[in-house]
Structures are given as structure tokens and as C-alpha cells.
Structure 1
Amino acid sequence: MEKTDEAGKGTIVLATVRGDVHDIGKNLVDIILSNNGYNVVNLGIKQPVSAILEAADEHRADVIGMSGLLVKSTVIMKENLEELNARGLAATYPVILGGAALTRAYVEQDLHEIYQGEVRYARDAFEGLRLMDALIGVKRGVPGAKLPELRPRRVRAATVEIEDRPEEGHVRSDVATDNPIPAPPFWGTRVIKGIQLKEYASWLDEGALFKGQWGLKQARTGAGPTYEELVETEGRPRLRGLLDRLQTENLLEAAVVHGYFPCVSKDDDLIILDEQGNERTRFTFPRQRRGRRLCLADFFRPEESGETDVVGFQVVTVGSRIGEETARLFAADSYRDYLELHGLSVQLAEALAEYWHARVRAELGFAGEDPAGMEDMFALKYRGARFSLGYGACPDLEDRAKIAELLHPERIGVQLSEEFQLHPEQSTDAIVIHHPEAKYFNAR
């Protein structure tokens, strides 16, 4: 898909808000709007409201679009709308908001109540296009043009809910505390660079790539090729071509820093120890308020047991070159190549993380418990679990600073931003837990 020659239907300033580095959704909006005749001023990531408003004034924008993936970004968007109010610009700039952490009710009810202009929620890039058409139509007095109605929040019928509250004092889950503690091959950290693609390519989850990243799917009408046929005729041939290109152009710089540390748990805390048994740092994790009342700390020996457990940490990256290449493709309007390569880069980082987690299980001596089939591997049917920061059991991104202090990932070119984001984007971090009962759960 290439940009049309038509321009001038209207101008929108797009930005990922301050503190957020995620731009794939925003860039999709850019692609769709640009190819439908709109002028798009794409400011990029981590944009303060002052920069957004300066660009809107300079380019005489009709609309402002703000995007973000993090929960924190929803708060920044609210602050930005309040700033537009304070500057008397709400009537000048209608706003479209989008991002994974947003909900329609939050935007079209809560934020609409505080914003003195028009604000709407775009679930995806195509809804963003429909909203842009409506906003420009209303502004220019196009007959019949109108904004979609605000959708009221769905209010459930009142019910009496009895919450299962923890009793007074600390409550520990029923996770076993007598599982064998494996001996790590070393204490401290190690850096591994120059990992070849062939070593982790088999861990690439094709389903996540083809469906989630590339959007391969059968037509709703049932006509045309099936998903399986699309995989064989489009998915895998394109994948093979891209993998060959990555190697030929040397766009991958796969590297890992990982380590093993002695530890104990106390209540909801995981305490990392030094070689003398003194506290080095600690992580405090949330605990479920009902059910098993799980907490990540429960998967490690309690301090009062007198035993010392072991925890693994890892940071992996496929390097910065692939991100630089996706940025070049986007700037060159090579949209299909951009979307495919970006999606592949994200999944390759995940494949490298899974590959290294398997290496950790081997080093700890229980790789023999791994399932035989790769589908079962992708279904996480192996022993233990790899918990990445920001998800349900360990939602606090600030804990990344503690992992960075332990592993020093700058040795493999990974930096931690002030907003606790990993750079390059195609990088992941994780707490690696050996306990047989450790599986993913939401603590809140």
C-alpha cells in the first residue's frame, strides 16, 4: 500500500504521549489516514503536550491524535486534555485517543466530562479513519456529517457481592515449600553475544506471528483460501524471505545477559541475597485477594525455613539494527514491509527469550521435563515460568530498575529509560522461576 497523490482533506498531528515508547498502533493510524488523503504530522514517541500543541499550531492541525500502550499513558492523556482546557484550545482541537490500556467508557464518559471540546476513542486505525472523516465533515459543514454518538457506560444490575477477604495478618498461598531446590551452574551474571538465528528460530511462534502480527485470516464469508492455505502460500514464503534478508543484511544482534542469585521470601517480598547471605535488594509483589491468594514470592523458600533458594533473571535483545531498518521502511512509505518486519522483530525477541529460558531449565537440571512437541512448549507446558515485568503477577515496571542493577544489560546494548522502558524495543526482561507450580496468574 503506497500513499495516494491526493492530499489536503485535513491535517492531524499524531503522537505517542510522554513516557511511552510504543508506536506501532500510531503508525498504523498514520498509514491508513495518509493513504486516504489526510496530511499526517507524526511526531513519534515520548512527546510532551507542549510539543504536540506547537506542532498543531505550526501545521494548522484540524485534529490531534494521541496514542499510548501503558496504563500510565491514560493518566498522561487526561493531563494533556486538561492542559488544552487551561490554554483555551479545547474548542480548536478535537482529539482522538487510542491505545491498549484505554477503554471506550473511560474516553467517551470520564474524559469527555472533563474536556471542553470533542474527544473520541478509536479502537483501531479504521475507526480512527471514520472519526477523522466525521470530524472534518462537521468542521467543513458537509451536509449530513455528524460525529458518532457517545456510548454510555454499561451499568450492570446491582448485585450483592460478598468479597472473599483475607483474614487479619499475612496469608500465604498453598504453594508447596518442599520442592527440591536446583543447584545453579554459577552465581552472578554472564553475557552471551553473537547468538545465531538458527539457534532460536525454531522457537518462533508462527501462529502469533501470522495471526497476531501479520493479520492472516480467512475471509468472514468463508470464501477464498483457508487460514492453513494462507500460511502455506503467503505466510511461510514471506517469513523465509525475511529471515534470509535478516541474515544477509546482518540486521540481527541477538544477545543475552542472565544470572542466578540466592534468595528467600518473606510475606509478599522476594529478597535477593549476596554471597554472604545479606540482603542485596527486594521485590514486593501483589497478592491475589481471593482464590489461592497467589503471590510470586510464594514460589521461593520462606526465610524462616532456613533454606536458601535460587532465582534467575534474564534480559534478551535482537539488537537495534532491526529497529533502525523498520524506521527506515516506515519513513520510505514501504508500509507492508514495515509492518511485516516490525511484527517479525517482536516475535523474534520473544523466540530468543523462550530459547534462553529453555537453556536455563537445562542449566538447572530439569530440561528433561520439557514436553516433546513445540506446540506444547508454546502452550507453556514446561516446568516453571518466565514472568516479564508489567504483566499480571508483577505489574510494577519500576522493578525493572532492580533487574537492571543486578544484570547491567547495557553490556548487551539494552538501556532502561526514565519511564522504565527497554531500548531497543525488541528486548525483553524476565524473572525465571523454577518451582513446578509456577504458572501465569493475575494478582489484581
Structure 2
Amino acid sequence: MKQKKADNADTSAVATILLATVKGDVHDIGKNIVGVVLACNGYRIVDLGVMVPTDKILDEAQKVGADIIGLSGLITPSLDEMVHVAHEMKRRGMKQPLLIGGATTSRMHTAVKIAPQYDHGVIHVLDASRSVTVAGSLLNNDTKSGFLNTLRNEYDKLAESFHAKKVVKNYLPLAAAQQNKVPINWEGYTPPTPAFTGTKTITDITVETLRPYIDWKPFFIAWEMHGNFPEILTDKVVGTEATKLYNDANALLDKVAAEQWLTPKGVVGFWPAINEGDDVLLQHNNQTTKLNFLRQQAQKAAGQPNFSLADYIAPEPGDHIGAFAVTIAGLEKWIAKFEAEHDDYNKIMLQALADRLAEAFAEYLHEKVRKEYWGYQQQESLSNEQLIKEEYVGIRPAPGYPACPDHTEKYKLFALLNAGEATGITLTESMAMYPASSVCGWYFSHPQSQYFGIGKIQRDQLEDYAKRKGEPIEYAEKWLRPVLE
């Protein structure tokens, strides 16, 4: 898949498609694959990279004469940024169709939130293979009008369906949801004590250490091959291609490990903690840090609790909470090398592998926590398949994800761990971690702890959360917008 940079092409003969990962977001594997696929189909690609402000996207689109603009993003704040881009395109009187893609995007969000902001076509593109058909339909004068009219009708129906469903859902007042918390018998439970409190920097991990912990399924999904691993290698439809990809990936991993291209860096910490309602009070250097959590408000069937992560911390002294941050450092040098060689295949391959190694590091470190650092499952013996299925005791939810959707709690996590100095990870203005191949989260050890999604919350919880957090309601509203009913 070696491909010369498409923006060297004859601009008078080919359509130009401008691609960018929006402001504050650093993830671009999917965008890079889309760019390669479109370039291979004859389009001129102008890729602005990651963390691109709205004005730069639109200024460059006008400068290069873009026929289509494509936006990418992974973290939830990117959804709001895409709405802003569409709004600005309308304000500027632009006419180019707008493509929307990325892990957190969806047809429903595009129909409800982004499409109403812009009148000249907003199209959610599920994967790279469909981008060619979509681009072709948009750039053909005979098909564009019909394509957009059909799409507009589909999105109108989606939006109607979305708004109709809103009235059917039943929610509890926050006080009632708080009365229905996770039932835990704290009197009959002795919390485990970590081997240390404070932080520990992890410096002795190699790529070879992490390879056995790789979950290969998301690797193939990144390349738009869907199926379980290893069954995908013998799949009748994609097996041959999947096997070649897997072999190429392992050959590159061999080289990465042997020549030490990448350096895993991590930090882990534990602190005394106590539950206080929907908050957790954490003792750190003779100071108290308050972690703020949300609670499910949807009305549940009898006997089903309204979950909050705070429920998993004991209401009396003796319990602890943990945190971690891991990254795969050193990627930029090799990405630049592959870009200079116009080797898109190995560039994307290395990015995808770095992401898998970061997740593998998180898996490896969590096992180390359970068996040694916190030591509450010292005799644990799980296969990689069991780890992937999360058959272990305890959880590691990440700020910004379903159980704790407020990305700004990362500020507290990073401060507690001194993660920037320990690992080199930084946070963007949208709370994405850079380098992109990074993972962070909290550790909960209670055997009843489990993963869940908060779902939608009501105004009373938004107001309560803002008060507990000590922030203006507008601040909380901005960061919790994806979960506001």
C-alpha cells in the first residue's frame, strides 16, 4: 500500500478532499486509512493531521479548493467540535459536503446534532470502504442531489425517532436514585491493603513483555475487518487478508522489539479513600482530593441498583482507590520516517500496534496490581482470553468513558500520579491524551465492582454535580453534554 502523497497530483484533474482530526483530539488511524483508500481511488488528499482548529480547517479548505471536507475524532468532546465546524461552515457560506467519522460518532448524533447546523450535506461515514462510494455520489452532478435528498430524509426520520423516544424514558429524581445504590455489606468486608501507598513509576517493561497481552480483535477492527480472533484468520471472506495483516504486524513487532523503537512508560498509585455520597475522598500528601462521580438515573426494574462508582468505596476508613497511566513512547520518529518514505501501510500499522501495546500495558499492569501491588488476587491464573473477557476481580474505569463520563476528572488523576513527569503524557484542551497510544484510569478492588454506563442524567444531578465539583453549572454542562437528557 505504498502511496505517494496525493497532494502532489494534478489538481486540475482530480477532486480534492481535505481531512482533519478536530481540535483537541489526537487520534487519526481511521482518518489515515480513509485518506489512503480515497487516494488509491484517484482523489487528491490534503491531510491536516491532528488537533486542527476550526478556522484552520476551513481556511485551508478554501485555500486548496477542497471539494469535500472530512472530520475525524475519537473522544466525546470532539462531537461538540464537529457541531461547531458545521455551524462555522454555514456562517461562512461554504458549500462543500461535510463527512463525519470516528469512533464516538454515529448516524444518530450526526442526524440530531450536526446535520441541522449545515445545509449542504453532512454525511456520517461508517468506515473507509464506504468513503469511496459516498465521495463518488457527492462529486457526480447526476447523483449528488438525489443522494443528499435521500440522506436528508433518513436523517429527519432518525431525528424524529430520537426525540420521540426521549419522552418514553423514565428517570428517577437524584435523591431516589441515591437511595437505590449498589447494596454492599461493608460490615462483613475487610478491604485489601496495597503493598504501598503513593506512586510507583514503571520503567522496566519492554514490548516483548506486553506482546502476550495484546487483544488482536480491535487491531483488525482498526483495519475494518470484523470478527473474533483467532477465528478471523480462517474466515472464508477475509481470512487470507487477515492472515497477511497478522503476519505483517508480527514481523513489524519483531523489528520494533529487537531494535527498541518504542518505550513503554507507566505509573501506578494507591491512596486511602472513603465514600461520601457520590464522591470519594482520597488522602494524598496530608491533603484531601475529592473525586466526583455520577449516578445512573434511569428507572430500573425491581432489585436493580442505580450504579455509581462511588458505591464501590467503603464509607468507613480502611479502603483504598488506585490509579494508573501508561503510554508507548517513541512513535513520532518512526511515523515521520514512514511518511518521508510515503509508506502509508507501515505508518498505519505501527500506529495501530502502538495503540494495542498501550492497551496491553494497561492489561499487564492491572494483573500486576491484582496479584502483587494491591495483592487481592495473588493466586489468580487467567488466560489472555479470560483477561479480554474481563473475568478478573476489580475494574479499571477511565475518566471520559461510560461509568465516569466527565473527562475533566483526568486533571485529578494526572495530578495524583504526577503522570506528566512520570510518563511524558500530556492532556489536550479537549482532555485527549498525547501521545495517542496512552491509557489511564482508576482501580477499584471490591469484588462486586463491575463496568457499567451512566446513561443519561437529569438536570437535578447536573446541578448537584456542579456544586460538588465546585464549578459553574455552564462548565459541568459543557463536559457532561453527551450524557444530558
Q: TM-score range by the shorter chain?
A: 0.7 to 0.9
Amino acid at match of 1:59: V
Query: 1:338 maps to what in 2?
Result: 347
Q: CA offsets, 1:97-143, max 9 Å, x none?
A: 222333324434653333132322222223222222122212xxx58
Distance 1:196 1:54 in 2: 43
Distance 1:409 1:114, change over 3 A: closer
Larger RCO, structures 1/2 (Cα 8 Å, 6+ apart) = 2
Q: CA offsets, 1:317-342, max 9 Å, x none?
A: 121x2244235424533232223222
Matched, 1:48 2:53: yes
The alpha carbon displacement at 1:147 in A equals 2.5
SS of the residue 1:79 aligns to = helix
Query: 2:157 maps to what in 1?
Result: 153
Query: 2:483 maps to what in 1?
Result: none
The alpha carbon displacement at 1:258 in A equals 1.0
Amino acid at match of 1:153: K
The 8 Å contact of residues 415 and 424 in structure 1, kept in 2 or not, is answered as yes
Distance 1:272 1:207, change over 3 A: same
Distance 1:128 1:230 in 2: 23
Amino acid at match of 1:300: I
Higher mean C-alpha displacement, 325-334 vs 173-182 = 325-334
Distance 2:238 2:32 in 1: 29
The 8 Å contact of residues 207 and 263 in structure 2, kept in 1 or not, is answered as no
SS of the residue 1:315 aligns to = strand
Distance 1:287 1:257 in 2: 28
Matched, 1:378 2:385: no
Q: CA offsets, 1:211-233, max 9 Å, x none?
A: 55573769xxx9x8658965995
1:401-420 alignment to 2 at 5 Å? 401-410=411-420, 411-420=422-431
The 8 Å contact of residues 384 and 438 in structure 1, kept in 2 or not, is answered as yes
Amino acid at match of 2:344: Y
Matched, 1:274 2:274: no
Query: 1:98 maps to what in 2?
Result: 101
Distance 1:405 1:160, change over 3 A: closer
Distance 1:214 1:343, change over 3 A: farther
Query: 2:291 maps to what in 1?
Result: 283
Distance 1:263 1:55, change over 3 A: same
The 8 Å contact of residues 2 and 35 in structure 1, kept in 2 or not, is answered as no
Amino acid at match of 1:442: G
Amino acid at match of 1:78: V
The alpha carbon displacement at 1:422 in A equals 1.3
Q: CA offsets, 1:376-424, max 9 Å, x none?
A: 1221111111112221111111111101111111222222222212111
Report the number of matched residues: 430
Distance 1:436 1:87, change over 3 A: same
SS of the residue 2:404 aligns to = coil
Distance 1:237 1:76, change over 3 A: closer
Matched, 1:125 2:128: yes
The alpha carbon displacement at 1:237 in A equals 3.2
SS of the residue 1:254 aligns to = strand
SS of the residue 2:396 aligns to = strand
The 8 Å contact of residues 216 and 227 in structure 1, kept in 2 or not, is answered as no
Distance 1:420 1:325 in 2: 25
1:210-359 alignment to 2 at 5 Å? 210=220, 213=223, 215=225, 226=236, 230=240, 234=244, 237-274=247-284, 276=286, 278-279=287-288, 281-289=289-297, 290=300, 291-302=304-315, 305=316, 307-319=317-329, 321-330=330-339, 332-359=341-368
Distance 1:45 1:227, change over 3 A: same
Distance 1:42 1:237, change over 3 A: closer
The 8 Å contact of residues 225 and 242 in structure 2, kept in 1 or not, is answered as no
Higher mean C-alpha displacement, 253-262 vs 409-418 = 409-418
Specify which of 73, 79, 88 is matched with residue 78 of structure 2.
73
Amino acid at match of 1:26: K
Q: CA offsets, 1:193-244, max 9 Å, x none?
A: 14123322221123443455573769xxx9x865896599535533431221
SS of the residue 1:44 aligns to = coil
Distance 1:337 1:67 in 2: 21
Distance 1:162 1:125 in 2: 35
Query: 2:2 maps to what in 1?
Result: 2
Normalised TM-score (structure 2): 0.80
Structure 2 segments unaligned to the other structure (5+ residues) = 456-485
SS of the residue 1:163 aligns to = coil
The 8 Å contact of residues 200 and 352 in structure 1, kept in 2 or not, is answered as yes
**Over aligned residues, Cα RMSD in angstroms?**
3.0
Distance 1:415 1:325 in 2: 20
Matched, 1:423 2:430: no
Amino acid at match of 1:175: I
The 8 Å contact of residues 83 and 113 in structure 2, kept in 1 or not, is answered as no
Distance 1:260 1:103 in 2: 37
Matched, 1:389 2:399: yes
SS of the residue 1:318 aligns to = strand
The alpha carbon displacement at 1:160 in A equals 8.4
Amino acid at match of 2:323: F
Distance 1:423 1:126 in 2: 28
Distance 1:194 1:417 in 2: 27
Distance 2:134 2:174 in 1: 50
The 8 Å contact of residues 371 and 377 in structure 1, kept in 2 or not, is answered as no
1:9-88 alignment to 2 at 5 Å? 9-88=14-93
| Identity %, equivalent residues | 29
